[in-house]
Homo-oligomer: A and B are copies of this chain.
């Protein structure tokens, strides 16, 4: 089924204990699109400046990402983020955030994108996210969104209005705690699901991800890795794998959502192995399958019925 992805297409400059990069391809929209491209043919809505290299657009298109909705503002500059990760990779400092073209982003939905079944809203202003939803003539069957604490601090009312319109909210544990004012993630999930979404995914980074609906809960670990080289974009990559898998099967049962969480986790486990999008480029289906099998081995066990009855 068709999938539209909205999110930043950007330059990132990253420093980790393992090395540093100049401006490289980044942005939530980029990570989501690349990750989902292994399952669906995502159509991206975003904006870049005249400084954005043609080769990056070609790279997206080579991954079957439809870029008709990627606006190019020739006179402006592309969104730029620079960050430094600390030694344990669990915290980072933002050194530079230049919004540039994103400052007045007016999302345009090409006619060929209308009628999409799945819509993934990457982290952006909740006002822009809502504009996108409203500009679809027919509401997509499933709307998933990511957001971050910045919008909780700065536009909480707009954020709540947008969350109310979505089916799946995908946020991290700190954001879930801030949004719900509950430390317990179980309590947080109850409160957040009362805001509108039918499903909530709480990403816990190296500690895995939880999927909630009003009745059930599912947990997928992160793959234990020897090294986490660069966590940038891992959460977006998770979201891309998750929504891509759902779009591929067009099945939004809780059982299929569980599998989608595993596929999201598998894609995220690739992302952190190299800088930026590097590892997400040109993955083979075989590599993805093998990674998913590692998750199966990691969590599956055979319970003994005679232990239970």
A210 at the interface (CB under 8 A from B): yes
Is A299 an interface position by the 8 A CB rule? yes
Residue A56 at the chain B interface, CB threshold 8 Å: no
Residue from A187, A208, A216, A219 having most chain B Cβ neighbours under 10 A: A219
| 23 A-B residue pairings within 8 Å (CB atoms) | A184-B225, A185-B224, A186-B225, A186-B226, A204-B207, A207-B207, A208-B208, A208-B221, A217-B224, A217-B297, A218-B297, A219-B299, A258-B301, A259-B301, A259-B304, A262-B301, A262-B303, A289-B307, A292-B307, A292-B308, A293-B308, A296-B303, A299-B300
A301–B227 alpha-carbon span in the complex (Å) = 27
Q: Are B217 and A219 in contact (CB under 8 A)?
A: no
A211 vs chain B, min Cβ distance (A): 10
Note all chain B residues with C-beta closer than 8 A to A228: 184
By size class, the interface of chain A is 35 or more
The answer to whether B218 touches A298 (Cβ under 8 A) is: yes
The answer for the CA separation of A204 and B208 in the assembled complex, in Å, is: 12
Residues of B within 8 A of A303 (CB): 259, 262, 292, 296
**Contact code string A110-144 (vs B, CB < 8 Å = 1, else 0):** 00000000000000000000000000000000000
How far, in whole Å, are A224 and B204 apart by their CA atoms in the complex? 13
Q: Is the pair A226, B187 in contact by a Cβ cutoff of 8 Å? A: yes
CA–CA, A225 and B208, complex, Å: 16
Within 8 Å of chain B (Cβ to Cβ): is A22?
Answer: no
B224 touches A298 (CB 8 A): no
Closest to A290 in B: B308
Q: Which residues of B contact A259 (CB under 8 A)?
A: 301-304, 307
**Cα of A229 to Cα of B126 in the assembled complex, Å:** 36
Instruction: Determine the distance from Cα of A204 to Cα of B206 in the docked complex, in whole angstroms.
Output: 12
**Interface residues in chain A, defined as those with a beta carbon under 8 Å from any beta carbon in chain B:** 87-88, 183-187, 204, 207-208, 210, 216-221, 224-228, 255, 258-259, 262, 289, 292-293, 296-304, 307-309
Query: Is the CB–CB distance between A224 and B219 below 8 Å?
Result: yes
Which residue of B is nearest A39, CB measured? B307
Alpha-carbon gap, A304 to B218, bound state (A): 17
Check A219 against B298 for contact (C-beta < 8 Å).
yes
Q: Could you tell me the distance between the alpha carbons of A303 and B260 in the complex, rounded to whole angstroms?
A: 10
Contact status B304-A289, CB under 8 Å: no
Query: Within the complex, what minimum Cβ distance (angstroms) separates A33 from chain B?
Result: 21
Contact A186 B224 (CB under 8 A): yes
In the complex, what residues of B have CB within 8 A of residue A262's CB?
301, 303
**Cβ–Cβ contact B184 & A218, under 8 A:** no
User: Would you give the shortest CB distance from A39 to chain B, in whole angstroms?
Assistant: 10
Bound Cα distance A30, B297 (Å): 34
Q: How far is the CA of A262 from the CA of B299 in the complex (A)?
A: 10
| Chain B neighbourhood of A204, CB < 8 A | 207
C-alpha gap A255/B262 in the complex (Å): 21
